[in-house]
């Protein structure tokens, strides 16, 4: 049994806490820390109310703590105090490097679900975290990056597709559909600041060794998603493409698609046009404010969407290539129901689909099923044990060999 420190008590942190609590045979002592300790306490109360980690049993305790994860000495003190075998980071991407620094200083494994971003620049890439590889290797510890759904599960799907169904994989399309409806005209399903930065950036896809840039949300396709129905999906740049194109250099074209409803797009356009999505400060009544951060305070808290959201998500990868000299198409995906996720954990499916692979990723490391020294992405490990277990952890998958094309 291992000890774990979980940092970040948003929607994703809630799901991870539930999943860790459901597996006392793996995760012995859990310490749950965030900037606002009361949010951890509230989640732990819900976990205990569900009959998990009953008071009085051997593993009753989920300790909670307050931590500013931007502050390395504070993190180091917390890690020394609770002595985890792994730190699972589901705070914001801004905290990735400070938490990695604290893990290096204390010799503890690290896992996250989103790659590092600087708060002042709406740009993310793996370079700052990959730059830790040698230091993690020398310290004999492991960092697993991007262990959510996308990135995360989509990386494992890609590795699984290549391992079992392709001699040569030519194209990969990642298809991310949220068919859920929360009833608000505009809200984001995860942290609004991170979400809007991602969606309002230029699109980018990989073709024949080059990245091709597109105007934000300018390339559209319609796709019929199992369990959801026909939806418009838009080409975006997404972080797993950086590591997947590196680790599967044979792939000639890689694209990422996400569905958006018309109401979301219209609101986003208006907010952009009036400057509310800007991330550089403006002066307001003698005080500097960042419009996007102000907007975040006005929008519904993603954690509050759970009880209102109905419908399903469907996320997967569609790959083409060759097997035994013949063309092959393979599509693997998960369907997740918002209301079922809420009934189990009190969070909607976007948080659920992120939190479950994070918890299983932690299990892979702590059980030694995935091991290594240095900094790794999900697709660098054998996908089979992950695919074998993820269904039982809450995200079963379906696979098909479609005859149609996705052009
Ligand atoms: P939320 O904004 O709901 O929660 C973030 C949590 O982190 C909050 O509890 C917040 O504290 C805490 N936090 C923020 N800054 C600090 C800090 N300096 N020190 C300590 N705690 C801090 O986000 P989500 O739960 O929706 O997302 C969590 C992570 O998951 C994000 O990194 C996001 O990008 C990633 N993600 C990954 C996905 C994937 O598929 N790979 C999909 C969706 C999300 P407070 O409550 O005080 O604000």
Domain boundaries, the chain: 2-145, 153-347+396-400
Measured in residues, the chain has a length of 407
Tell which one of 7, 11, 12 to mutate to probe ligand 1, the residue whose CB is within 8 A of the most ligand atoms.
Answer: 12
**Rounded CA separation 7/20 (Å):** 13
Residue 69 near ligand 1, beta carbon < 6 Å: yes
CB 10 less than 6 A from any atom of ligand 1: yes
In this predicted structure, what is the pLDDT of residue 28?
Answer: 87
User: What is the predicted pLDDT for the residue at 84?
Assistant: 97
Confidence category of residue 124, pLDDT binned at 50, 70, 90: confident
pLDDT, tens only, 56-71: 555 557 999 999 999 9
Q: What is the pLDDT of residues 281-304, one digit of tens each?
A: 999 999 999 999 999 999 998 878
CB atoms within 10 A of CB 222: 9
Q: Can you give the pLDDT at residue 306?
A: 87
Q: What is the pLDDT of residue 109?
A: 98
Distance CA 236, CA 259 (A): 10
Region 46-62: mean pLDDT is 73
pLDDT of residue 120: 83
pLDDT for the residue numbered 34: 98
DSSP one-letter string for 361-389: HHHHHHTTSS--SEEEEGGGS-HHHHHHH
Q: How far away, in angstroms, is 198 Cα from ligand 1 center?
A: 15
Task: Give residue 54's pLDDT.
Answer: 61
Q: For ligand 1, atom 44, which residue shows the shortest CA distance?
A: 190
C-beta of 256 in contact with ligand 1 (< 6 A) = no
Query: Best substitution site from 15, 18, 34 to test ligand 1's pocket, by max atoms within 8 Å of Cβ?
Result: 34
Check pLDDT > 60 for residue 336.
yes
What is residue 381's predicted lDDT score, i.e. its pLDDT?
Answer: 98
CB burial of 343-357 (b: ≥16 within 10 Å; e: otherwise) equals eebbbbbbbbbbbbb
What pLDDT does residue 215 have? 94
Mean pLDDT (whole number) for 376-402: 98
Residue partners of 246: CB distance under 8 A and separation at least 6: none
CA dihedral 46, 390, 149, 31 (to 10 degrees): 40
pLDDT for residue 241 is more than 90: yes
Supply the pTM of this predicted model.
0.94
Which pLDDT value is given to residue 35? 98
List, in sequence order, every residue forming a beta bridge with 220; answer none if it has no partner: 234
Topology, domain 153-347+396-400: Dihydrodipicolinate Reductase; domain 2 (3.30.360)
**Cβ 39 under 6 angstroms from ligand 1:** yes
Is the distance from the beta carbon of residue 280 to the nearest atom of ligand 1 less than 6 Å?
no
Residue 57 is predicted with a pLDDT of: 55
Q: Calculate how far, in angstroms, residue 401's C-alpha sits from the geometric centre of ligand 1.
A: 36
302 lines ligand 1 (CB under 6 A): yes
> In terms of DSSP bridges, do strands 109-112 and 142-145 run parallel, antiparallel, or are they unpaired?
parallel
Nearest CA to ligand 1 atom 3: 10
CATH number of 2-145: 3.40.50.720
Mean pLDDT (the chain) is: 94
Q: Which atom of ligand 1 is the closest one to the Cα of 190?
A: 26
Task: Return the pLDDT at 78.
Answer: 98
Least confident of 124-133, 178-187, 189-198, 240-249: 189-198
Instruction: Tell me whether residue 184 is exposed, middle or buried, using C-beta atoms within 10 angstroms of its C-beta: 0 to 12, 13 to 18, 19 or more.
Output: middle
Q: What is the pLDDT of residues 352-375, one digit of tens each?
A: 999 999 999 999 999 999 999 999
Pocket test for ligand 1, best of 35, 197, 395 (most atoms within 8 A of CB): 35
What pLDDT score was predicted for residue 30?
A: 94
24 or 357: which leads in pLDDT: 357
Q: How far is the CA of 165 from the centre of ligand 1 (A)?
A: 36
Q: What percent of the chain has pLDDT over 90?
A: 86
CA-CA distance, 268 to 163, in Å (whole number)? 40
pLDDT at 122 over 80: no
Q: What percent of the chain has pLDDT over 70?
A: 98
DSSP H or E run through 111: strand 109-112
Least confident of 23-27, 86-90, 234-238, 310-314: 23-27
pLDDT for position 60: 55
Which residue from 43, 67, 90, 355 has its CB within 8 A of the most atoms of ligand 1, so it is best to mutate? 90
pLDDT of residue 282: 95
Q: How far is the CA of 354 from the centre of ligand 1 (A)?
A: 11
């Amino acid at each position: 049994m291992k000890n774990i420190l979980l940092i970040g008590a948003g929607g994703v942190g809630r799901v991870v806490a539930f999943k860790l609590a459901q597996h006392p045979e793996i995760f012995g002592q859990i310490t749950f820390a965030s900037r606002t300790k009361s949010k951890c306490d509230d989640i732990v109360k819900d976990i205990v109310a569900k009959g998990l980690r009953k008071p009085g049993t051997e593993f009753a305790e989920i300790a909670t703590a307050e931590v500013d994860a931007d502050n390395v000495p504070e993190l180091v003190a917390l890690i020394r105090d609770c002595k985890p075998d792994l730190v699972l980071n589901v705070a914001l991407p801004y905290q990735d490097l400070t938490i990695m620094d604290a893990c290096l200083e204390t010799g503890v494994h690290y896992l996250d679900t989103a790659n590092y971003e600087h708060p002042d620049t709406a740009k993310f890439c793996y370079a700052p975290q990959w730059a830790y590889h040698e230091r993690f290797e020398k310290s004999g510890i492991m960092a697993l990056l991007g262990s959510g759904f996308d990135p995360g599960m989509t990386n494992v799907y890609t590795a699984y597709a290549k391992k079992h169904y392709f001699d040569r994989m030519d194209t990969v399309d990642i298809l991310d559909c949220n068919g859920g409806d929360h009833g608000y005209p505009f809200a984001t399903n995860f942290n609004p600041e991170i979400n809007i930065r991602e969606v309002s950036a230029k699109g980018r896809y990989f073709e024949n060794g080059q990245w091709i840039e597109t105007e934000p949300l300018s390339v559209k396709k319609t796709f019929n998603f199992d369990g959801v129905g026909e939806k418009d999906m838009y080409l975006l740049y997404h972080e797993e493409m950086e590591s997947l194109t590196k680790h599967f250099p044979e792939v000639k074209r890689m694209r990422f698609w996400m569905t958006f409803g018309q109401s979301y797009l219209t609101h986003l356009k208006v907010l952009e046009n009036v400057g509310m999505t800007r991330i550089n400060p403006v002066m307001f009544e003698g005080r500097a404010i960042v419009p996007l951060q102000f907007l975040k305070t006005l929008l519904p808290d993603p954690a509050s969407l759970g009880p209102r959201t109905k419908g399903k998500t469907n996320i997967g990868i569609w790959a083409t290539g060759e097997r035994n000299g013949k063309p092959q198409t393979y599509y693997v995906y998960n369907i997740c129901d918002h209301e079922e996720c809420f009934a189990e954990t009190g969070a909607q499916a976007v948080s659920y689909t992120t939190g479950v692979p994070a918890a299983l990723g932690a299990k892979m490391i702590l059980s030694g099923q995935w091991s290594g020294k240095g900094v790794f992405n999900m697709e660098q490990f054998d996908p089979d044990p992950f695919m074998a277990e993820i269904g039982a952890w809450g995200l079963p998958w379906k696979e098909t060999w479609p005859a149609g094309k996705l052009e």
